[in-house]
Structures are given as structure tokens and as C-alpha cells.
A and B are shown apart, each in its own frame.
Chain A
Amino acid sequence: MRRWLDPLALVLLLLGIWQIAASSGALADLLNLESFLVPSPTEIASSLWDNRVVLLENAWVTLREVIFGFGCALLAGVAFAVLLHLFETLRRATYPLLVGSQAIPILVFAPILIVWFGYGIGPKLAIVAIICFFPITVNALDGLRSVDPEAIRMMRTLDASRWQTFRRVEAPTALPYAFSGAKIAVAVAVIGVVFAEWAGTSSGGLGWLVLQYNNNLQTAEVFAAAVVLAAMAMALFGLLALVEHRVVTWR
């Protein structure tokens, strides 16, 4: 109980300070802004309620993009990790490229992806998938490589085929690592999808909505959308943690 109580108290305290600073106009004065540009937590909360239909509709669009993009990355990432694990030459050749690819600011290429994949859900899925791919692949590969070599030798004298060793020893060893990668990936996927929506398609989504609100200087609504996005990221993370808890019972 105390585990939850302490952080909750801190959040409430911070919200309280923000509330007073914003509603008294002190924060706006400090930033030298019009007070409507600095919404208080209660204004954000009422905006959340007032715009609930629009927010939920667009959250659904964004959620779909995240789930499909993440799903593609999960399948491709795990498959690629297994491939790199099985073929050492491939791993030696590819791994530096894989790590190096993280230095490429993928979002810069978003307009190009739109040219390639058109104005539908395609480029957004591609961006989310590319962002998710790295943490999933690297973590799954680390997991596969963390297997005790002595366990592999033991399996060989216990008449295990390559596939049996993979299924009974390597895959279960790698599973918790893969889950760590997936949890990181799903959190960054939500950030990634916002940028993907900003990159210029017009089919809705919370990122697109934030852009509209921002253009109208509806700051409370921007914050409200951010709250929904954060909740989505936390919910997806929590869901994966729950699945992990169910699947990885031996930890």
C-alpha cells in the first residue's frame, strides 16, 4: 500500500502547486504569457471531459497504429534476432550496422516514407515499426546469447537436436530479455507515432489532434491529449508486464 501511497502523495502535491501557480496567474506572469496559455490541472481535467469523444476517437486511431506497428516490429525483431543468433557470420556483419542505424534520425525520413508508402496508415506503421525494431531485436539477441554454453553442451550429450536446444533452453532463457525489449519499444512507439502523425498525413490520431489544438492555441486541450497519450503508453507497458508475469513464471 505504502508503495503506491508515497508516489501518489508526491503527484498530488505537484499538481496542487501547479494548480495554485496557474490559476492565480503567477505562472503566466512569470513566463510573461497570457494566462489562457498556461492551463491549470483542473482546466486540463475539464478539457479532458469536454473533449472526451474527440479524444477517444483519435486515441483509437493512434492506438491501432501503435499496436500494428509494434506487432510488425515484434515479429520481425524476434525473427531477426533468432537469425542473427543462428548464423554467426550474419551477426558479425549486421550487428554494427544495427547499432549504427540508431544514429539515423528516422523521423527526418518521415516525409520520404510518406512518398513511398502513400498517405494512409502505411508510413506511420513503418515509422513505429522501425523505432520498435531496435530495442526488441537487441534485447532478444542479448537474451539468446546469454545462454550458458555449458547448458548447450549438456543438451548435446542429452541427445538434443539444434531445434530442441533452441526450444527447451535458448528460447526460454531469452524470453525475459525479449519482454524487456518489448516494454521499452512500446513506450517509445507512442512517442514515435505522434511524430509520424505530425509528419503530414491527415487521417486523425492524437498527434494530428495535438497539432490542430496547438494551431488554435488550445493549450488545455494539448495537455489533455498528452494525458491520453501518456495513459496509453503506461497501459500498453502495464499490459506487457502482465503478460510477462503470466508467461515467465520461473522468475
Chain B
Amino acid sequence: MNPENGGIGAIEVPLAVSDGGAGVAIRDLEHSYGELQTIERLTLTAPPHGVIGLVGPSGCGKSTLLELVCGLRQPSAGSVEVGGAGTAEERLSRCAYMPQRDLLLPWYSALDNAALALRNQGERKARARDRAADLFARFGLAGFEQTAPAELSGGMRQRVAFLRTLLAGKPVLALDEPFASLDAITRAEMQEWLAGALRADPRTVILVTHDVEEALYLCDQVVVLSARPARIIAELRAPAPRAAERDAAVTESEFVAAREEAMRALREGSR
């Protein structure tokens, strides 16, 4: 365990954040920026509390797909439904988006960054801070409440960003390469930590990553996308049940086989 990260452990008790549970249904989705087609007839469903991983070559439209799910963009054709609702407003109200970079606001403390959604939802400052502070210890962030984002380690920044996403209280989390900017050791720790956090507090998760191993370890289902325009070239069920320990999980023979299959599909799709 990296002491710089404040000693993060697995989260075993459910977090006190509400969740109605909502699935995501994408049907014949197409999207283009002007002439440039980014997504080609894509159909995909995530059950409530399902964790879906999207892997694909860089620039294949994975982030666009997340923005479509969140209601930040509108499809050119086809439909996206979150919790059975299809309008952008309704999707927006059911999804919380965690961008690739942590985008913590440097003028707020770690605590106020985490409490951002609560403040936006009209919670009073003291109450919002209390609710966020309750979760700081669980996220291995105790004692860093008043720290400026720039003074946190990469792993801690990412955890504050995740806490901010979680505290929005949305049933669907859209995570865009949440650990891409971290070093290998911190990334492995954070993956293990996120798996624990989701066990304790299940959400529907759409996880975009370029790391096949990360997707297979964290997700129930991994979807391999082709180069732009994105279409599905393989769908893999993650080998279940997995060991909670990441090191044990990723060396299981089933896991290794799934990883090789995904890599093969990815290589074909990038051509």
C-alpha cells in the first residue's frame, strides 16, 4: 500500500448515497460531427447496477458515447435511454460524469470539491460539507479535507473526483478513463479500491478505458469497439466470480484467456 495515498482500504459498508437503480439501453445509435461519423449503429444494454467497460483504440468515439449517455449530446439517429427515459434532460438528471482529467477546482478545498454536486442541488454549505466529510475517511482522505487540490497526490485527486461524482447521487456513473493519468502502481490500487467501492455501493457504471485488464477486472461485461466510426466488434462477459484481490484476479487462467481474446479483437478493430 502506498503511504502517500493515505492508505486506502476496501470499502465494506454501503455508502449513505441514494440510488434508485437505472439501466442504460442504447439502440441503433448513430452519431456524427458534421461529415465525420463517430458512432455507427451501436446497440448496447447495461442492467441496473451493471458495470460495462468500453475499450477501443484512442479517438474511436468512446468519450462521445459517454456524453451521449449522459445527455450532453444528442444522437444523430437511434436512441439512448437511461432508466427508461430518453430525453437529454432526463438522461442528464440520472447520470454523473467523471471526466478524464480530475478537473478539481483549484479555488476550492478537497472537501468543497467533493461537495460540489450537493451545493449545486441546493444543500446548505455546512450540511454539504458534513455529508462529504463523512465519506472522506472511507475514501482514504481523512485529514485532507482542507487541502488544496494541487497538494494532493494523483491517486487522492482521482478519489476526490470520484467522491464528487458519487455524491451527485445519480444511479448511473459515466467514468471516462478515470485512472489513465496515474502511475501503474497507483492505478492498480485505485482499481482495487473502485471495485470495493462499487461492491459497497452498487451503481450502473459505464467505464471507458484503453486498458483491457482494467476493464475485465472492474466490469461484468466488456465491449470492444472498433476504430472510428465506433461499432461493436466483440462483447465479453468478464470471468466471474473474480477474486477481490486484483493480483489474484488478473492471474486466473480464465481472466488471462479473456484478456487475450479482448486484445485480439482490439487489434482486429484497430486495423
Given the known A-B contacts A157-B72, A160-B120, A250-B148, are A172 and B168 also in contact in the complex, defined by CB atoms under 8 Å? no
The segment from A20-28, A57-65, A116-124, A145-153 found at the interface with B is A145-153
What does the 1/0 interface line of B93-120 toward A look like (CB < 8 Å)? 1011111110101111000000011011
The reply to whether the CB of B2 lies closer than 8 angstroms to some CB of chain A is: no
> Interface on chain A toward B: helix, strand, loop, or mixed SS?
helix
Nearest A residue to B122 via CB reads: A159
Q: How far is the CA of A169 from the CA of B116 in the complex (A)?
A: 11
Pick the residue among A148, A150, A159 that contacts B120 (CB under 8 A): A159
Report the nearest A residue to B91, measured CB to CB: A157
Interface string of A155-168 (1 = CB under 8 A from B): 11111110010001
Residue from B103, B106, B174 within 8 A of A250 (CB atoms): B106
The residues of B that contact A156 with a CB separation of less than 8 Å are: 72, 92
Also in contact, A154 and B97, with CB within 8 A (given A159-B117, A160-B120): yes
The reply to whether A172 and B92 form a contact with Cβ atoms under 8 Å apart is: no
Contacts of A148 in B (CB 8 A): 103
Task: Find out whether the CB atom of B168 lies under 8 angstroms from the CB atom of A159.
Answer: yes
CB-based A-B contact count at 8 angstroms: 62
Q: Which residue of B lies closest to A172 (CB)?
A: B107
Q: How large is the interface on B (under 10, 10 to 19, 20 to 34, 35 or more residues)?
A: 20 to 34
The distance from the CB of A139 to the nearest CB of chain B, in whole angstroms, is 18
Contacts A159-B120, A161-B120 given; does A168 touch B164 at CB 8 Å: no
For the complex, give the distance between the alpha carbons of A116 and B105 in Å.
47
Inside 8 A of A161's CB, which chain B residues have their CB? 120
Q: In the complex, what residue of chain A is closest to B73 when comparing beta carbons?
A: A153
Taking the nearest CB of chain A, how far is it from the CB of B177, in angstroms? 12
From known contacts A158-B164, A159-B120, A164-B120, infer whether A153 and B105 are also in contact, taking CB-CB under 8 Å: no
User: B164 — which chain A residues lie within 8 A by C-beta?
Assistant: 158
CA distance A151 to B108 in the complex (A): 14
A218-249 contact mask (Cβ, 8 Å, vs B): 1 or 0: 00000000000000000000000000000001
Q: How far is it, in angstroms, between the C-alpha of A84 and the C-alpha of B72 when the chains are bound? A: 23
Bound-state Cα–Cα, A164 to B165, Å: 17
Contact of A157 among B95, B107, B119 (CB under 8 A): B95
* B70 part of interface (Cβ distance < 8 Å): yes
A93 CB, nearest partner CB in chain B, Å = 24
On B, residues with C-beta under 8 Å from A are 67, 70-72, 92-93, 95-101, 103, 105-108, 116-117, 119-121, 148, 150, 164-165, 168, 170, 174
